């Protein structure tokens, strides 16, 4: 979680947002330094089971990860 203040504004939000949809791991947002996708790969999850949901579908075809 990101928690703090930015001037007069309160900052509160998730650093990552991951969902499990149709037997795939869908990364909706990734604000980490190394990238959660890389950590999932290192943990043995195949690219075909990871969807980069934060990328437009037409771009996903070129990433090597699952499209849907």
Q: Which helix (H) or strand (E) element contains residue 57?
A: helix 57-60
Q: How far is CA 41 from the centre of its chain?
A: 13
In whole angstroms, give the CA distance from residue 38 to residue 63. 13
Note the CATH architecture for domain 13-60. 2-Layer Sandwich (3.30)
Banded pLDDT at 52 (limits 50, 70, 90): very high
Q: Round the average pLDDT of the chain to a whole number and report it.
A: 94
Domain extents for the chain? 13-60
49 phi and psi angles, rounded to 5 deg: -105, 5
Q: What's the pLDDT score for residue 2?
A: 77
Q: What is the pLDDT of residues 9-39, one digit of tens each?
A: 888 889 999 999 999 999 999 999 999 999 9
């Amino acid at each position: 979680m990101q928690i703090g203040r930015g001037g007069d504004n309160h900052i509160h939000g998730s650093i990552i947002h991951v969902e499990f949809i149709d037997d795939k791991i869908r990364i909706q947002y990734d604000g980490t330094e190394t990238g959660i996708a890389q950590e999932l790969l290192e943990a043995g999850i195949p690219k075909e089971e990871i969807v980069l949901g934060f990328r437009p579908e037409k771009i996903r075809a070129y990433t090597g990860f699952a499209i849907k």
